[in-house]
Amino acid sequence: MTNSAPTYFEAQQWASFCLKTARVPSDNARFLLLGLTHFDQTQLLVHYRDTMPTALSTTYQAMVKRVAAGEPAQYVLGRAPFYGLELTVNSNVLIPRVETEELVDWVLSDAPATSACNVLDVGTGSGAIALALKHERPDWQIEGSDVADGALTVARQNARTLGLAVDFYQSDLLASVPATRFDVIVSNPPYIDHAEEPVMDASVLNYEPHGALFAANHGLALYERLAATVAPHLAAGGKLYLEFGYHQAAALRAIFEKAIPRATVTVRQDMAGHDRMLRVVNHE
């Protein structure tokens, strides 16, 4: 970028070039600029030919350089979108993914909008699932749990910022969950096999928390623990919703059908046509 103060358009063009040269998706240039300025798309267009304030330009350049070096743009900005919400994120939590929004959609579409619902989000991380559900269904009683203190700090901060009444507490899966029977338990647990590390994106491996990514036994270990312990925490007719890796459907179906023989297990595809979600209905 030239020494003279750039316009917003020039700054974004420079950032796009830097990121493309670094083989990083160039749409991060706009994501960072919108997040830093708090403009929406229309406001950015209106200001495209305006000169950026010097301090803002300096901050933007520094952010772009961090992303070009491999750091996820969401961590650099400190925020990430999820289901219409803007969440604080840092290296204590995974960056919420679009695929997980589809899991939220499934939970919401299964339950009538007028129904009372008692929900637990296991392994809540940033609180993304729990907070999205509470935002869409304010009358639902929603709790979130996580084993990691750092993640719970982020989740509680997000709940306060968004003004959403969700209770968060520490638990290793269901080990310290209250004796409540839930209508819905939902979880996006760690499910990646360590054998997949050589083909994973470097920014994920280098920056996102490994404890929230990987699980033993080919990524199935936490599902096996859930299958062995979840039934007493589900109300009659209660439902467990899970996200999983695209190649794990057959193994997970077998795990839950064996552990809860009277349950109905349904696999659902994501928008890309991959098996990515599982629902277990408790017919106790």
Binding-site members for substrate are 188-191
Residues placed in the known binding site? 123-127, 146, 188-191
Q: CA 223 to CA 259: how far, in whole Å?
A: 11
Q: CA 57 to CA 64: how far, in whole Å?
A: 11
CA 109 to chain centre: 19
Q: CA 187 to CA 144: how far, in whole Å?
A: 10
Enumerate residues 6+ apart whose C-beta is below 8 A from 97.
Answer: none
Q: Are the CB atoms for 110 and 131 separated by under 8 Å?
A: no
Strands (E), 102-247: 118-122, 141-146, 167-170, 182-187, 234-243
Residues placed in the known binding site for S-adenosyl-L-methionine? 123-127, 146, 188
Residue among 171, 112, 165 at smallest CA distance from 141:
165
